[in-house]
């Protein structure tokens, strides 16, 4: 699929209209339902195949954020060959009691992977937590940037947001 075809497919499947409460607390009249691309193995494979080129050189671990980032990071790891860590919103209180499961992150260059970014809030929170655990993080990668201030907010925390698709790309794909 070309980038334009990919944007058109994601827009057609994932853009919903109505009234939606976002994680940031804001209300939106449009919502990008990421589970519609994450649940389709062929579309997810096409997206992450393109995302692989956006992984910064020197990245040692891909860290997917709970919950949507987990499917994306797993598929992206398949394309890059990089190990993955699965990051919870809070460390579990049982078993290993870890915040990040899977690949070791301490002392390694980590790329945070998310599905859709609006305010960048969860990436900022998770990045702070991962840095406290010894990870080096200066970039995050998402499938869709809604272009609602997330990139600027993350830049203030020393994180460069890379996006496969932006809301502008999806708008343009509608023709």
The answer to whether the annotation marks 118 as part of a ligand binding site is yes
Q: What is the pTM of this model?
A: 0.94
Tell me the two tokens of residue 64: 């997917």
Residue 28, Cβ neighbours under 10 Å: how many?
17
The answer to whether the annotation marks 117 as part of a ligand binding site is yes
Tell me the two tokens of residue 125: 């929170």
* Angle in degrees, 0-180, between the axes of helices 41-51 and 3-14, rounded to the nearest 10: 130
The answer to whether the annotation marks 146 as part of a ligand binding site is yes
Show Cβ contacts of residue 124 under 8 Å, excluding neighbours closer than 6 positions.
153, 154, 157, 159
The answer to whether the annotation marks 132 as part of a ligand binding site is no
CATH number at residue 77: 3.40.50.2020
The answer to whether the annotation marks 119 as part of a ligand binding site is yes
pLDDT in tens, 124-153: 999 999 999 999 999 999 999 999 999 999
Confidence of residue 169 (pLDDT cuts 50, 70, 90): very high
| Residue 68 confidence (pLDDT) | 87
Class of residue 169 by CB neighbours under 10 A (exposed 0-12, middle 13-18, buried 19+) = buried
Domain count, the chain: 1
Q: Report which of residues 96 and 69 the model is more confident about.
A: 69
| Residue 15 confidence (pLDDT) | 93
Residues of the chain with pLDDT > 90: what percent?
Answer: 83
Phi-psi region of 121 (alpha: psi -120 to 50; beta: other; left: phi over 0): alpha
Report the candidate in 104, 133, 120, 105 with the shortest Cα–Cα distance to residue 160. 120
| Residue 18 confidence (pLDDT) | 95
Task: State which residues form the domain around 153.
Answer: 3-173
Taking 90 as the threshold, does the pLDDT of residue 26 lie above it? no
pLDDT in tens, 30-74: 899 999 999 999 999 999 999 999 999 999 999 999 998 999 999
Antiparallel, parallel or unpaired: β 109-117 and 100-102 = unpaired
């Amino acid at each position: 699929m070309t980038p334009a075809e990919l944007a058109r497919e994601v827009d057609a499947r994932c853009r919903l209209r109505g009234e939606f409460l976002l994680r940031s607390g804001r209300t939106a009249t449009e919502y990008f339902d990421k589970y519609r691309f994450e649940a389709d193995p062929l579309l997810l494979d096409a997206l992450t195949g393109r995302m692989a080129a956006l992984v910064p050189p020197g990245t040692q671990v891909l860290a997917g954020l709970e919950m949507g980032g987990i499917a994306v990071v797993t598929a992206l790891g398949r394309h890059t060959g990089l190990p993955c860590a699965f990051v919870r919103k809070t460390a579990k209180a049982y078993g290993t009691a870890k915040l990040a499961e899977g690949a070791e992150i301490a002392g390694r260059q980590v790329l945070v992977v998310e599905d859709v970014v609006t305010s960048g809030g969860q990436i900022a929170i998770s990045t702070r937590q991962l840095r406290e655990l010894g990870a080096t993080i200066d970039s995050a990668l998402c499938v869709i940037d809604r272009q609602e201030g997330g990139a600027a907010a993350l830049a203030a925390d020393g994180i460069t947001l890379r996006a496969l698709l932006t809301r502008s790309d999806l708008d343009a794909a509608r023709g």
